[in-house]
Structure 1
């Protein structure tokens, strides 16, 4: 029997953001950056690869470390960080990994005989004379098409004047995303850069004006149409633009997903920060792969995915973030679930963008994990659920369940269970009559529930905060 799939789709102790999904030989492989639990920077770890059979997206296999940051000839001491990668199968049947390193202006290339790696350092993207393409070689996206090999890259921050700080490697502000053609060796540039998506300084008066390109270049070909997927200056959203040719011109299409559901609801449904990912067709169904944030910071990001539709006219309607993700439908209510599958979250105040630097909102609830040495033994749970904090699960399928159980610790008080809306009347109230320092289960009755519902848990501790580990409904 196939297991259930839910978000995040990898184990709770794994942090692979910036996911680029690709199907090779009957399996879907996800290539991404690699964050650290309780991390203090983006992309602190070496690359790893996870894969799953295309007909069972609930069974993910750890393929191991695919490329180490110290393998690059310019980073033998491993001090620079491996930023978001992409992979393509070249004309020779081998697999080519493209990546950027912090404070380095070139795109690195590694190669393997297998889509899972390990990859070996191959060289840098450059012209035959050794010169580098214009712009900062950041977040590469690669397409091997029938008539050529196309590399997309760039970053276009909202700054005025000379780039400084994190963008000091830029000689000048990039006007948006660039594309260059590569030779059949997969690393020699053979064209001048072409602007394919407008950024901050060039978007005014174009279709990109409200959602200018910032970073996270990704490219796909669907039904003869080219889709450029990117992260806009809004930060939390993945947008797309389309063209009839790989060099464009690209026309802005819309937002595919926001990791705070901005654009779909009046207020954000979750705390937001940067986003990066792409689309892929897996066994006839298209998905958008993206990431969410944990630990109350920009770091320790986790991989998520949602089903999408590509309409006949090429449009992709925006989808909401859910707990079901890669599952075939809503999750059965009559099963025990970890609290980390929640997709909606806010504290006493509405959810908002997570600041990149202190001070942080002390009332913000967030996912955190215990710190056992063996990562497979770590437990991910919700913490700091203060009065009026709430979390939501979308969606559960009920078949007449009449009780609910939660496992929590912390303050005494109540936890209310609501369906479909946080403005609805509670269908159950769970009383927590004592303060607990260890995980304790509490059960309450509810009237029989049927059908597909979003489920919200509203926390009302008498003082302090509660931590939330798991829940289940039962008949």
Structure 2
């Protein structure tokens, strides 16, 4: 959030990431309880060495002012779970639901090391963002642990008094990275698949044989009023990658990140697909069957948006997790992005979406303004790290091994958080800023770079931005000027003057030798 005084009035804005730039809350599940919007997610460490290293921390904002985010504090620690063991000591993506008794129930699974075995656990609190206490694990009617299929990434809904739990996991491969003649369903032999499932998920041969289908996919069960006891047999609702042939989910099969919403009389199942970087959705008139693939809502590399391919991703991509929520009549999708050249320091972002009369959701592009309700004003100071596109033309899809070689990325050190290792050919974009005439742009720079930053104003993509106040811009990019870049170990300031009016994407193209860091921009 940025506050500036403009013509004597305080300008309040919010941008992506919507939480402070030193906060890393991925896997965000948004929920409105009372008059506040809450985000429940896992909690990464800045420049962390693995996923979800920190305790759960809740953030919230009043529904009538999404610029006013506050930290509600630590709500739960792994050590509170009596089953916490050294190999599964990290709290992975949670969800929260209000029970029929009015209390709030936190569902989670723990993991760590090289596997996750479940089960799904529950903590309880009298308020949404209070201090949760351990409540128990999801179990069968006979009291034994519920461990059908892969009990991971829980999503929960109170469906008019009926509590439904959604969960699962599967393999993932971005089909855009494979040769066209490769059949992903034939990638693993049955024997190798069984070995993998036994190793990663602690399954026995008897447990695998007891399942009516392969254990990888999205499932749902109904819970009893105690919020712990499974009251129905699991049902497979979306297939995993190896079972997606001829289902309508080909190339967008379930990977992880189960989330469920009910809009009018339609159930929306939001999930991370096999491509890993995209949040997809499927819909049904029933909570436990009949789901049909509908499309992609957002990709954290804008892959698929207006036909963009994986090879042309506009940022490094990696796992994605989130959901949709309506706030004051506007729907949003919450998701996360990767920083620090790894999967271990992820930050929450959000974009407005539209749900059409037929229930469909068109894919939206990543932006810098997110929850702002309009473009950011070209007034005041902004962190450079709110860029929504950051690419050198060949950005990777990240794996569990952080990138070692130089690559443009969001990072930090003791002096600042910044875009680091900007190399020749790097393009950085901010969508969108509103300009109002003469402007002086100041950048805070450092590094070994010697070259130039060429600055452009580009019009918003057709149909991508609705200008509420009638502002229009030209259809052609405008060259605003060039900033000379010279080597410096210390942060220096470089300024560019131009005149511009309307709503534009602000884009920087670096050409030259060496590596450049940018910490901030000011108007």
Give the TM-score normalised by structure 1: 0.93
C-alpha separation in 1, matches of 2:478 and 2:161:
59
Instruction: State the match for 1:375 in structure 2.
Output: none
Cα drift, residue 418 of structure 1: 1.1
Contact 2:459 2:504 in 1 (8 A): no
Contact 1:16 1:302 in 2 (8 A): yes
Cα drift, residue 118 of structure 1: 0.8
Q: Which of these residues, 354, 359, 367, is aligned with residue 322 of structure 1?
A: 367
Instruction: State the match for 1:75 in structure 2.
Output: 84
C-alpha separation in 2, matches of 1:234 and 1:78:
28
Contact 2:117 2:202 in 1 (8 A): yes
Change (3 A) 1:425 1:146: closer
Per-residue CA deviation, residues 358-402 of structure 1 (Å, 9 max, x unaligned), is 6x362410011124xxxxxx7311110111112110001111133
C-alpha separation in 2, matches of 1:69 and 1:233:
29
Instruction: State the match for 1:41 in structure 2.
Output: 50
Cα drift, residue 133 of structure 1: 4.1
Q: Which of these residues, 394, 407, 432, is aligned with residue 350 of structure 1?
A: 394
User: Pairwise mapping of residues 44-63 of structure 1 onto structure 2 (< 5 A)?
Assistant: 44-63=53-72
Instruction: State the match for 1:368 in structure 2.
Output: 411
1:336 lines up with 2:381 in the alignment: yes
C-alpha separation in 2, matches of 1:384 and 1:147:
52
Structure 1's consecutive aligned runs of 4 or more residues displaced over 6 angstroms after TM superposition are: none
Instruction: State the match for 2:506 in structure 1.
Output: 455
C-alpha separation in 1, matches of 2:153 and 2:258:
6
C-alpha separation in 1, matches of 2:86 and 2:254:
33
Q: Which of these residues, 439, 456, 464, is aligned with residue 418 of structure 1?
A: 456
C-alpha separation in 2, matches of 1:246 and 1:90:
18
Q: Which of these residues, 336, 350, 355, is aligned with residue 305 of structure 1?
A: 350
Cα drift, residue 117 of structure 1: 2.0
C-alpha separation in 1, matches of 2:391 and 2:295:
26
C-alpha separation in 1, matches of 2:259 and 2:358:
21
Aligned residue pairs total 462
Instruction: State the match for 1:374 in structure 2.
Output: none
1:291 lines up with 2:336 in the alignment: yes
Gap runs ≥5 in structure 1 = 372-377
Q: Secondary structure at the match of 1:93?
A: coil
Instruction: State the match for 2:15 in structure 1.
Output: 6
Q: Name the Cα RMSD after superposition.
A: 1.9
Instruction: State the match for 1:125 in structure 2.
Output: 138
Q: Which of these residues, 194, 205, 213, is aligned with residue 162 of structure 1?
A: 194
C-alpha separation in 1, matches of 2:250 and 2:195:
21
Cα drift, residue 247 of structure 1: 1.1
Cα drift, residue 352 of structure 1: 3.2
Q: Secondary structure at the match of 1:326?
A: helix
Q: Which of these residues, 40, 43, 65, is aligned with residue 31 of structure 1?
A: 40
Contact 2:117 2:201 in 1 (8 A): no
Cα drift, residue 312 of structure 1: 1.1
Worse-superposed segment, 386-395 or 213-222: 386-395
C-alpha separation in 2, matches of 1:278 and 1:57:
17
1:149 lines up with 2:163 in the alignment: yes
C-alpha separation in 2, matches of 1:385 and 1:73:
46
Cα drift, residue 2 of structure 1: 5.7
1:186 lines up with 2:236 in the alignment: no
C-alpha separation in 2, matches of 1:150 and 1:71:
25
1:393 lines up with 2:443 in the alignment: no
Contact 2:88 2:110 in 1 (8 A): no
Q: Secondary structure at the match of 1:7?
A: coil
Q: Secondary structure at the match of 2:220?
A: strand
Structure whose residues are more often helix by fraction: 2
Instruction: State the match for 2:151 in structure 1.
Output: 137
Contact 2:170 2:256 in 1 (8 A): yes
Contact 2:458 2:504 in 1 (8 A): yes
C-alpha separation in 2, matches of 1:53 and 1:170:
44
Contact 2:25 2:44 in 1 (8 A): yes
Q: Secondary structure at the match of 2:20?
A: coil
Cα drift, residue 164 of structure 1: 3.0
C-alpha separation in 2, matches of 1:21 and 1:2:
25
Instruction: State the match for 1:442 in structure 2.
Output: 494
Per-residue CA deviation, residues 278-312 of structure 1 (Å, 9 max, x unaligned), is 00111211100000000011110001000000111
1:264 lines up with 2:277 in the alignment: no
Gap runs ≥5 in structure 2 = 1-9, 173-186, 209-213, 461-475
1:230 lines up with 2:274 in the alignment: no
Cα drift, residue 77 of structure 1: 6.3
